[in-house]
Structure 1
């Protein structure tokens, strides 16, 4: 009897947790892209946005661009400097990865004249990819399923989403 009660509680919790919507302060894919290009327009000497790929496109959906932003003192030039890459959200429900990378970008740009940020901009190429699973991010942000973990396409195309 106790096992049945525990299982009932777990199923109820899983059902209710899937119904929760995210706080609107989290960035949507559209907000991420808008912010990245606004930084590039406002600070072209230290910011460059580049499309680094596209999603494979879920069934009945066009591929979505994946963007990276480069921060460096000569962002438009490919200099012989050490490069760092910060990858944000991979799994769909990992929205904090987006927020952390977006905050890092904002801080470096705002503090660009203060050490150590100015030194970083002079001596490094810093690349940030806020999300490389924009399809999964859309599932979570559109409140389809805030606990969704995968992307929207079966990667090995066998018809089953692998859970490893």
Structure 2
């Protein structure tokens, strides 16, 4: 039992930014944890984490969760203010992801440098240079995709703000 609670707490701490509740789906002796409501053939316990306290409630009532992407695509289901908030949060997330990519890039370059050093190769070694170039291109591509998505989201945000001011 302690293992299960420890696993739940670790899972919740690692995904604290994603969700404050998860579902424990139980069928016979099988237990599965999910961020979405359990299938009908499973019993459901809702586990909530807030302010360092974990609570588990037995709730077989299914909760309908709306996919945020669907909410963004179907803007009639949410208010303009909420849509702007979701756009801002997605831009923030993509910027954070770009920062994370830069950290990963630096780490991977250090790893390549250490391998080069221990293999007693020169920095001008063609194999080392090709690895650095490949790594740099990979992370540049990831950042480029996020940057273009950020630009599109910012353009969409400006359009929505313009629509909102025209209505008033």
- Mark yes or no: TM-score above 0.5: no
The structure showing larger relative contact order (alpha-carbon pairs under 8 Å, at least 6 residues apart) is 1
Which structure's residues are more often helix, by fraction?
2
Interval containing the TM-score (normalised by the shorter chain)? under 0.3
> What TM-score results when the alignment is normalised by the length of structure 2?
0.23
Question: Given the two structures, how large is their TM-score scaled by the length of structure 1?
Answer: 0.24
Q: Which has the larger radius of gyration?
A: 2
